[in-house]
Amino acid sequence: MVNETQHTCSASSSSRSDGGSSSGSESSKDNSRCSTPVLDADRHERLREKMRRRQDAGDKWFSLEFFPPRTANAAVNLISRFDRMGAGGPLFIDVTWHPAGDPGSDKETSSMIIANTAVNYCGLETILHMTCCNQTKDDITGHLQKAKRLGLKNIMALRGDPAGEEWEEEVDGFNYAVDLVKHIRSEFDDYFDICVAGYPKGHPEAESYEADLRHLKEKVFAGADFIITQLFFRPETFLKFMKDCQAIGITCPIIPGIFPIQGYHSLRQLVKLSKLEVPQEIKDVIEPIKDNDAAIRNYGVELAVSMCRELLDSGMVHGLHFYTLNREVATTEVLKRLGLWKEDPRRPLPWAVSAHPKRRVEDVRPIFWASRPKSYIYRTQEWDDFPNGRCLGNSSSPAFGELKDYYLFYLKSKSPREELLKMWGEELTGEESVFEVFTCYITGEPNRNGYKVTCMPWNDDPLATETNLLKDQLEKVNRRGILTINSQPNINGKPSTDPIVGWGPSGGYVFQKAYLEFFTSSEIVTALLKVLKKYELRVNYHIVNVKGQNITNAPDLQPNAVTWGIFPGREIIQPTVVDPVSFLYWKDEAFALWIEQWAKLYEEESPSRMIIQYIHDNYYLVNLVDNDFPLENCLWQVVEDTFELLN
């Protein structure tokens, strides 16, 4: 919002229709008693309801503003930042709208697609900015329809910068933010939550501070739900503005925009764009240290912390909105010092939920995508219904999306090719070198060239804390060619608040069946199948190769629940299953990752590439479930018996 402007000419005020409920089904709360047990009220609430609930509870919050990246690589980095900063618990993030950057397009760097990623893949409540000047009504309606289709539920309605030097009002066009607010309400009823911009010092183009306040009131009365302000340098600026708003009857939430100064140049540029004046006392401090980035940042953090404290202490402010400039350090530091950064180890479900409204009933996923949730979300984005309770997929949503898109930018490895080669080997000498890579990933020890293996084609992050519980056994089996890509220990009723394996509301108990998934040679599979006969009633298995040859003892095509929770006053939740049908879709993805992520690092026809190709063509993907969760996990014994049989 920093560099977006708003015109101040008057537009007739129209009060918002509260008469009917929304016509869009997405916005109506699901009242059916058959819906998923409400584990997390948040998933069902609109942003404005969340804001109200937090305010009523006296629970302070923060939000984060980002702008869309310029390049695909920058987009990958921004998405990682969403994940990291999302962990601190923002109430929402917002993504600015850059008319010059084709903001409504399908490009991976567009405002629309970045906001889509934040909502759907990072599970963040997201506001998409949208400007209206120099655009046709059809363009704007198209953008809004697309936003709705993608699951976006909140719009920041702005005028935007006029294209020419001298801006002229267009007849029947969108000249002011208030026109956009009215348009959204008339075309989309109550579907979107709408945010508008407030200017604590008055809009630079406004006739006067008072006239600007009146325009703000018009925007609110046209249907805006809350206000985020332009940045300001002194707390009293905001507090006066807030009182003045209240005095003329603006009662919706007003959220102060906070800009932690992070560097001399970014400050100067920002000030120029926003036509604000930096107070002399700040200039006096900054000018002498203008070449010392660290010093400026420290000062910026101090200043922001003290201003935020004053705002919060006033009792008038319940949330703070941060202009991050897509940077992490300063904002995170301010939030931590304010005690607002809350990394909640408690998860509503064992996997990260998506914020798309149509996924809010989703409470079951196959275990296979545990390390690739974004891929799972991507491949099921066309589903009309989401698994709720025991129903995985259904007649209207029969299949997973094609694999052809798995190289999409948000599924790309965060590491560049050179780094991957260092981790996975510049030159492979045989299958054993592959075993070594897997083993190093498990142990965290450096490989023979001194590099740590921090990611694998099937997992872009280091080993999960939970998997660490199995580290010793995993190391042993990977060394011998049981190349594990997914596993979980058995859990027999740990409290739902357990910091490692807990999830869901407190007072509950969580359970797991032991799970192990790996690639291995056909020689080992042959021995394994003999061993599994002894475990026939206890262990369920699926064994498949790239050609789809499939060996299983699963009864019918029934999914096997491997993670479930029992909570006070609720039905049972079983969020993770081993599902025989989706395993065959996962199989395609899991095998393809050998080639796409690993083999293709090497020259065609090179020995290294041929080794990976050989594994891809000949190995099997195996998953094992130990159904006897109250007993000691028998899967390690199964593997041991297999090795023994081979010797």
Residues that bind its own copies (CB under 8 A): 32-34, 36-38, 389-395, 492-493, 506-507, 509, 511, 537-538, 540, 553-561, 564, 566-572, 574, 577, 581, 625, 627-630
Closer of 250 and 622 to its own copies (Cβ): 622
- Look at the block and give the residue holding tokens 């069946």: 513
Hey, what's the torsion of the CAs at 24, 26, 28, 33, to 10 degrees? 140
Q: How far is the CB of 388 from its own copies (least distance, A)?
A: 8
What are the backbone angles phi and psi of residue 284, rounded to the nearest 5°?
-60, -35
Q: How far is the CB of 389 from its own copies (least distance, A)?
A: 4
Angle (CA) 278-280-281 rounded to 5° is 110
Q: What is the DSSP letter of 598?
A: I
Q: How far is the CB of 546 from its own copies (least distance, A)?
A: 24
Contacts of residue 382, Cβ cutoff 8 Å, sequence gap at least 6: 397, 401
| DSSP E strand stretches across 284-324 | 319-323
Closer of 36 and 443 to its own copies (Cβ): 36
Token pair for residue 46? 């609109």
Closer of 137 and 570 to its own copies (Cβ): 570
Angle (CA) 28-83-64 rounded to 5° is 70
What Cα–Cα distance (Å) separates residue 639 from each residue in 53, 80, 227, 616, 620?
Answer: 51, 36, 60, 21, 15
The Cα–Cα gap between 151 and 495 comes to 34
Closer of 452 and 570 to its own copies (Cβ): 570
Q: How far is the CB of 338 from its own copies (least distance, A)?
A: 30
Helix (H) or strand (E) holding 187: helix 177-188
Sign of the dihedral through C-alpha 77, 83, 89, 93: positive
Q: Are 192 and 145 in contact (CB under 8 A)?
A: no
Closer of 357 and 559 to its own copies (Cβ): 559
The Cα–Cα gap between 198 and 257 comes to 9
The alpha carbon of 384 is separated from its chain's Cα centroid by a whole number of angstroms, namely 21
The Cα–Cα gap between 574 and 365 comes to 9
What Cα–Cα distance (Å) separates residue 456 from each residue in 318, 419, 469, 481?
Answer: 42, 12, 19, 16
Q: How far is the CB of 270 from its own copies (least distance, A)?
A: 46
Q: Is 65 a catalytic residue?
A: yes
Q: How far is the CB of 155 from its own copies (least distance, A)?
A: 30
Closer of 492 and 522 to its own copies (Cβ): 492
Tell me which of 45, 49, 65, 277 is the catalytic residue: 65
Name the residues annotated as catalytic: 65
